[in-house]
Amino acid sequence: MEGNVLFAFGLTLFAGLATGIGSAMAFFTKTTNTRFLSTALGFSAGVMIYVSFTEILGKSLDFLRESYGMTAGSWYAVLSFFGGIMVIAIIDSLVPTFENPHEIRRVEDIRIQDQDGQKKSLLRMGTFMAIAISMHNFPEGLATFAAGMADPTLAIPIAVAIAIHNIPEGIAVSVPVYYATGNKKKAFLLSFASGLAEPIGGLLGWLFFASVFNESILGVLFGGVAGIMVFISVDELLPTAREYGHHHHAIYGLVAGMAVMAVSLLLFM
């Protein structure tokens, strides 16, 4: 069990700290690589959607049917799925649109704002985005951690998918802070710190559920995880990928993500 906890925590840490990759990318580029981000976000959505419906929700059904029978277990799994959607939707609704980390941001757009002298506004934007990302990352951290505890073959692609979707969030935090303060170190650290909410969310989830961790709890967690990941994909990843202006690249990435996930699952059968 201890080995599983360390593995799950390591994956969650990796996924969360991908915000630092986005932060570093922002300092070494003059313009946003929209084609790459559209494809990567589509790929991440493809992985999440495919694995949610073909594996994670199925495991939720298996665990809960084993505990409560076919009919009741199926109902609990479905309720868990939509409960996960409700949780992430409520969190998303609490974040104002301007500070929402999933509202599209481009490096060059923020430079233009800086040229207009809006440094206080930029600093406020970056700070509030860091808080908003921390709020979003708590349930994502729990999702990655729960998958790592239950099934490593599922957890690794989930962690990679969430890491990819955290890259633009790192850009959204670090760039406005940098152009407001001129301090790359401060901008990077704030972006990096916002990613720490993910492993913290996973760890707090584990501490909360550790004493009652059984098949019923796993079933509910997996149903909720599936709902969270589907919502993230359709509400955040795909719309953001489309807004970057490369609709077809986002779809190609989506299909590629599903294909890679399908093949990887078949190889581990």
Q: Which residues contact 36 (CB under 8 A, 6 or more apart)?
A: none
Q: What b/e string do you get for 136-146 counting C-beta neighbours within 10 Å, with b at 16 or more?
A: bbbbbbbbbbb
In the chain, domain spans: 2-26+33-267
pLDDT tens series, the chain, 269 aa: 555 778 888 888 888 888 888 777 666 655 556 677 778 778 878 888 988 898 889 889 998 999 999 999 999 999 999 999 998 888 777 765 544 444 445 444 444 444 444 456 556 656 666 676 677 677 778 778 877 777 777 778 778 877 877 777 777 677 767 766 777 787 788 888 888 888 888 888 777 766 666 778 878 888 988 898 898 888 877 887 777 666 788 888 899 989 988 887 777 65
Predicted TM-score (pTM) of this structure: 0.69
Residue among 240, 159, 194, 180 at smallest CA distance from 22? 194
Q: Which amino acid is at 34?
A: T
